[in-house]
Structure 1
């Protein structure tokens, strides 16, 4: 009864607030970035409409009554900025949409019914009403990175930081109101487990349907469904006259409560923050970087012999400034030494854990293990790891934590190195040390083998006894039973697609709140079992925005199923080859860049180098924002750390398969470069690579594309009227270099991406088949 009364009381407050201080927007109203650009609240303090972002415009809610035009909510925050020619229309049939000059509509709000009017309230809430004056949609119910006074973060919802102060796209930190009553901060792309949390309210298990609330007097607190306050983050009682408060998860991952005195017209003041240590947020410095405090400011450093991927962009992380090769040279001498990074803590993603007496022993054990790229040592425990390292930060005074990083050494400088500050070694010393370490390494290998065996036995016991698939890799995936998936897919009712190994069905998890794609493998005893294991091992270890995310699996008797995130726009083939779903030139080039980024991650940034082996438009899925994600890793090949090529039977799809497959030559990552080149030509021309409905000389796309390039007739390749001819020539040259018959002449995916982004010059490519006779 008490909870019902509280709900009625809360509803009355919200309704009253909605009616107070509103500025009605009628059907047929419109905004443009350059003329009437916003609809303001009655007080003029808040506005809804266009604000400038990068070289374009976004739509959102922002403070309009103060000099700082601070954005508090953004629509479609991860879509590219719009051009100045767009229009925001509140149409006569009750839709709120942004229209491009080309007539493409983008929904700003998705109410369950058509709206009759809208209003920018003085509370900062933008709302849509139906004809009965009831709110059918409001910005308060879908917050981005900010909570305003009177707003709540309800159970199961999250706030995400922005990329930067000037870019409101989704950043790298999140604040989640969990179903267990705990308010927790995590880095993005991690599961909701304690090891990834870097701040928590400590209210787990203390209530259900808990919400984070902000009152007019600056009180920030957690409230359960019965109206009981579980915890005050701030006590409140701050001035309410001419003062505004808001809470935001900032770019640096810390969430703060701000105040602004309207009389003084000054800047925002921080009156509370979740942490005073700016190095607390995990992932601030990206992969292979670690955070250190410089006075009160955070500073990011790279591992030894590493450099920033993008100078000035911490979250981009660090990469080697040397080329990683086999850990031993032909004469058996070591190619690497270990360098120490003291007083640092990292994510424990170890593949082997040893009990060792000293840190020197830990260093030596990693140096002798070709699979070990880094090791962390604390209190007699040595954990061998592969790169990249994540979530690094320096902890002053904690001298027991130390990381050892394997870095390259040249033969000419081997006598000049003073690793870890010790004396210079002569060749004789190194030989004696090497023999000693070899003996020690043999002992450690036996210990490691025993430890690995025990770990695998424990892992096998966690899966179905009827199967033999190795699920002991370090992935955080959810295990489903077959009956779970039957319920999730409503008896495998809605089919999304069908491939050579099985069928994909639409399903839901989290009580229907999240749509997923469930892939049921049908050839279980042969290819299906192999594909199941390959996809688990490959995509289960990958984390990249341009790769489809694997959420879970089913290993139940003979049933093998994989659960993926749902891609609402289907495959690239579904869009690219259908005239009614035409992609504009800029969209196609952006899609090409994103596909290249995904392949580059597989080739150079993964724990194990991966050859996808089946890059084609059908295996590139498109999310709701038409961002491409590579899928279908069932044919992929994992290369060992010291392996650069592999011999295997022909894999992939006709038309996209590199020539070396047919010539029984060793296959390298350049096979994927070839397939990408074919896809790039298809993106340029919006047609399939082989299509006999065209005249014979145009039927095979790669041959026709080169003939048009050679004849300087590039206009024949595209139907778009607004294509930059210089850019077209540049992109076409990239594709032609990728599809050369000789693999060694094809560029790496890193070079491909640089060429697509226009940062390197592209020489004139030869004919794709001109080197065939030399192979």
Structure 2
């Protein structure tokens, strides 16, 4: 009896100790079910699991007070919630991870070496120490949406808002400490350009490489490159005791400084914020919508002829509620009218400017132009525009010293079925028919939307449970040391290289299984390929590739350089190549899934071209070098096996031709410099293969359709792009995609967009101009 009591007492002490951990040592873990967290010494901050959706997320929050947790940092913020059986642990080899039963572990910290223990500091900084008690990683180096006292937002760093107050995934707005000394706020995904900025500190006088920080008294100020204070941003006075401060870019795009009175149960107050106008954040009301300030509160509205995409989430924007006929089917029976909006502006998507006009002449000019979907009239200037309209808001009558603008929007007038005008005697009947049909369609659409949302959520949940994802939406993951295998180990793992998965220009790939049942793909490099490569050169290249980690690149796990054998060990991709995924599987990916596949590839290329430590040109991008994981996510393979570009080189000359016929850029044949734009060309060809869901060359197709790129150009010129896809898709979306591909395969490399611009075009952030669409003998 006494022994049982002692065991229960010891167990109770252990639980209480775990709930008040100040350090996390190797082999220890935190769990959401036992409500265990890692606390700072004063108890003001805690690290661990907090409720998110139907599960939990990992982060840091204010622990003091009885109010709802105020989260100040989130790990893997774009990941879906984890389940109740998840744990945070410091492994025996010194890695801080999230482990969930049946799911691949997710790293939290990217360390340069093994950690001895983890500590939560009173500043709100989560730090990892090595055996020398040196900090090897800290959360202050990877801020999310919040600036805490002591955290330095250095030149080039930015904070990104959350989606909602209760959803800390990346939202729509960012504030950046620019290298020119200015602090500027932009929409997420936009260029760092004045057209996209909606607030700036105008502090370029402080010089380059300035730093933004917050002190314990609530002062938001800047340091110059030598560390001296040069500018107080919010002119804060010294506050009373008992308060803690944070500066956060909120989900509505406003940057606020908050005080938390820990004496009064953590009560929160707003001490300062910018901008003053809550309609200033660009994109707050989505595409085609505009923001109107009513009683100092931002209210989203749609222009005439438009309805909210989703009434309960008006920030998503608006869609047209009538059918605008294509110019190819223009007829005399189609009628439209122009609705005028005073003092409403959108970011210009102008394709024609007509000077010296009256507003009535501007209206008529838009009505008579089937391409014109809206026009902005200001002064005597008429600017014709196309959808989508972006960054809309109401302006003051004389903003920026210019006369008040008028927005002219083309809408259908008494539209009946198929967008044609009903006879006057039947319009009342038609209106009732339209009402009944419309209600039925809306009901059906809501059911489909709900079902689609469920499928998309489940799809993303599956995907993110496997893929380690970086904190700022470009896909970086933690650097993990490569494992060195012996040839015998890989021979056993692959059962004597008995199950080939495919072969390419560098070697043959075999399926294998490591101890622990982890499936791998082993690439055995051809001896001819590596015969001229010295051992040190091979090892250096492996180290370079080993530092390249991105969610859209096939992960290199290790390598073998045993004697003359050279083998690479990769993560196994269960859905095979993109070619087999598109053409051999029974269930074809739908339109949205195909666009997402293209975005996966584009993001992987952007990382190789601009974001990894060593800039890389792939040189052989094609469907067979793109692999699909079990969740339908695309990952680029064979990167880094072509020549690596050193940082001091921006391009290579006199390269031997590499790549695959039909996918290589024209400059390979012209003795021209080979730059990252060669990969953009290859992406364009792959992009057409994806969205059209057919092979680049189809000998079974009619002669005029056999060569995909030629057929795409012919259909685009004839305004018959709907022939290119196997299902019915939105015409405007399809035309946008075709234009993107045509820009990518421009013969002149300088005319091709960068991969960053391609991603922006795919996401609908930037306008897509009409491509020159010139033929080239090399692209077929």
TM-score category of the 2 structures, normalised to the smaller one = 0.5 to 0.7
2-side partners of 1:498 and 1:152: how far apart? 49
Is 2:25 the counterpart of 1:26? yes
Q: Which residue is 1:632 aligned to?
A: 683
Is 2:725 the counterpart of 1:672? yes
Q: Is the CA contact 1:635–1:651 (under 8 Å) kept in the aligned structure 2?
A: no
Shift in Å at residue 188 of structure 1?
Answer: 1.1
Secondary structure at the aligned position of 1:176 is classed as: strand
Q: Which residue is 2:645 aligned to?
A: none
Secondary structure at the aligned position of 2:277 is classed as: coil
Q: CA separation of 1:578/1:649 partners in 2, compared to 1, >3 Å: closer, same or farther?
A: closer
Q: CA separation of 1:331/1:64 partners in 2, compared to 1, >3 Å: closer, same or farther?
A: closer
Q: Deviations over 1:111-164 (max 9, x none)?
A: 111101110111111000011111110011110000111111111011000011
Q: Which residue is 1:294 aligned to?
A: 294
Equivalent residues in 2 for 1:73-112 (5 A)? 73-112=73-112
2-side partners of 1:139 and 1:656: how far apart? 57
Shift in Å at residue 314 of structure 1?
Answer: 2.9
Q: CA separation of 1:138/1:649 partners in 2, compared to 1, >3 Å: closer, same or farther?
A: closer
Equivalent residues in 2 for 1:540-559 (5 A)? none
Q: Which residue is 1:129 aligned to?
A: 129
Is 2:568 the counterpart of 1:569? no
1-side partners of 2:369 and 2:34: how far apart? 65
Shift in Å at residue 651 of structure 1?
Answer: 5.7
TM-score (normalised: structure 1): 0.56
Q: Which residue, out of 404, 409, 428, partners 1:405?
A: 409
Is 2:593 the counterpart of 1:595? yes
2-side partners of 1:257 and 1:219: how far apart? 9
2-side partners of 1:672 and 1:147: how far apart? 47
Q: Which residue is 1:349 aligned to?
A: 349
Q: Which residue is 1:65 aligned to?
A: 64
Q: Is the CA contact 2:37–2:49 (under 8 Å) kept in the aligned structure 1?
A: yes
Secondary structure at the aligned position of 1:577 is classed as: coil
2-side partners of 1:372 and 1:217: how far apart? 54
1-side partners of 2:243 and 2:233: how far apart? 19
Shift in Å at residue 214 of structure 1?
Answer: 0.3
Q: Is the CA contact 1:658–1:675 (under 8 Å) kept in the aligned structure 2?
A: no
Is 2:690 the counterpart of 1:652? no
1-side partners of 2:310 and 2:595: how far apart? 15
Shift in Å at residue 341 of structure 1?
Answer: 1.8
2-side partners of 1:31 and 1:650: how far apart? 49
2-side partners of 1:649 and 1:37: how far apart? 50
Secondary structure at the aligned position of 2:361 is classed as: helix
2-side partners of 1:62 and 1:297: how far apart? 28
How big is the alpha-carbon RMSD for the aligned residues of Structure 1 and Structure 2? 4.3
Q: Is the CA contact 2:177–2:184 (under 8 Å) kept in the aligned structure 1?
A: yes
1-side partners of 2:703 and 2:313: how far apart? 40
Q: Is the CA contact 2:357–2:382 (under 8 Å) kept in the aligned structure 1?
A: no
2-side partners of 1:62 and 1:592: how far apart? 41
Q: Is the CA contact 1:291–1:298 (under 8 Å) kept in the aligned structure 2?
A: yes
Shift in Å at residue 617 of structure 1?
Answer: 6.6
2-side partners of 1:670 and 1:105: how far apart? 44
Q: Which residue is 2:246 aligned to?
A: 246
1-side partners of 2:588 and 2:633: how far apart? 9
Q: Which residue is 2:281 aligned to?
A: 281
Secondary structure at the aligned position of 1:213 is classed as: strand
Structure 2 residue ranges without an equivalent (≥5): 1-19, 426-501, 506-548, 556-569, 582-586, 600-620, 637-681, 730-780
Q: Which residue is 2:174 aligned to?
A: 174
Secondary structure at the aligned position of 2:164 is classed as: coil
TM-score (normalised: structure 2): 0.56
2-side partners of 1:618 and 1:170: how far apart? 32
Q: CA separation of 1:350/1:574 partners in 2, compared to 1, >3 Å: closer, same or farther?
A: farther
Q: CA separation of 1:94/1:316 partners in 2, compared to 1, >3 Å: closer, same or farther?
A: same
Secondary structure at the aligned position of 1:634 is classed as: helix
Q: Which residue is 2:376 aligned to?
A: 376
Q: CA separation of 1:621/1:246 partners in 2, compared to 1, >3 Å: closer, same or farther?
A: farther
1-side partners of 2:700 and 2:94: how far apart? 46
Shift in Å at residue 575 of structure 1?
Answer: 2.4
Shift in Å at residue 183 of structure 1?
Answer: 0.5
Q: Is the CA contact 2:255–2:274 (under 8 Å) kept in the aligned structure 1?
A: yes
Q: Deviations over 1:150-182 (max 9, x none)?
A: 111111011000011111010010000111111
2-side partners of 1:387 and 1:654: how far apart? 35
Shift in Å at residue 657 of structure 1?
Answer: 8.7
Number of aligned residue pairs: 483
2-side partners of 1:327 and 1:200: how far apart? 42
Q: Is the CA contact 2:55–2:82 (under 8 Å) kept in the aligned structure 1?
A: yes
Is 2:52 the counterpart of 1:50? no
Q: Is the CA contact 1:216–1:240 (under 8 Å) kept in the aligned structure 2?
A: no
Q: CA separation of 1:634/1:499 partners in 2, compared to 1, >3 Å: closer, same or farther?
A: farther
Shift in Å at residue 577 of structure 1?
Answer: 3.2
2-side partners of 1:174 and 1:380: how far apart? 36
Q: Is the CA contact 2:183–2:200 (under 8 Å) kept in the aligned structure 1?
A: yes
Q: Is the CA contact 2:118–2:128 (under 8 Å) kept in the aligned structure 1?
A: yes
Q: Which residue is 1:323 aligned to?
A: 323
Equivalent residues in 2 for 1:467-616 (5 A)? 568-570=552-554, 575-577=573-575, 595=593, 598=596
2-side partners of 1:147 and 1:232: how far apart? 15
Shift in Å at residue 568 of structure 1?
Answer: 4.0
1-side partners of 2:693 and 2:24: how far apart? 64
More relative contact order in 1 or in 2 (CA 8 Å, sep 6+)? 2
2-side partners of 1:96 and 1:656: how far apart? 54
Q: CA separation of 1:86/1:54 partners in 2, compared to 1, >3 Å: closer, same or farther?
A: same
Shift in Å at residue 578 of structure 1?
Answer: 5.5
1-side partners of 2:358 and 2:700: how far apart? 53
Shift in Å at residue 225 of structure 1?
Answer: 1.9
Secondary structure at the aligned position of 1:163 is classed as: strand
Secondary structure at the aligned position of 1:245 is classed as: strand
Structure 1 residue ranges without an equivalent (≥5): 1-20, 417-496, 501-564, 584-588, 602-614, 639-644, 677-775
2-side partners of 1:324 and 1:106: how far apart? 48
Q: Deviations over 1:698-752 (max 9, x none)?
A: xxxxxxxxxxxxxxxxxxxxxxxxxxxxxxxxxxxxxxxxxxxxxxxxxxxxxxx
Is 2:318 the counterpart of 1:265? no
1-side partners of 2:594 and 2:120: how far apart? 42
Shift in Å at residue 239 of structure 1?
Answer: 2.4
Shift in Å at residue 385 of structure 1?
Answer: 1.2
Q: CA separation of 1:415/1:348 partners in 2, compared to 1, >3 Å: closer, same or farther?
A: farther
Secondary structure at the aligned position of 2:684 is classed as: coil
Secondary structure at the aligned position of 2:366 is classed as: helix
Q: Which residue is 2:119 aligned to?
A: 119
Shift in Å at residue 345 of structure 1?
Answer: 1.5
Q: Which residue is 1:314 aligned to?
A: 314
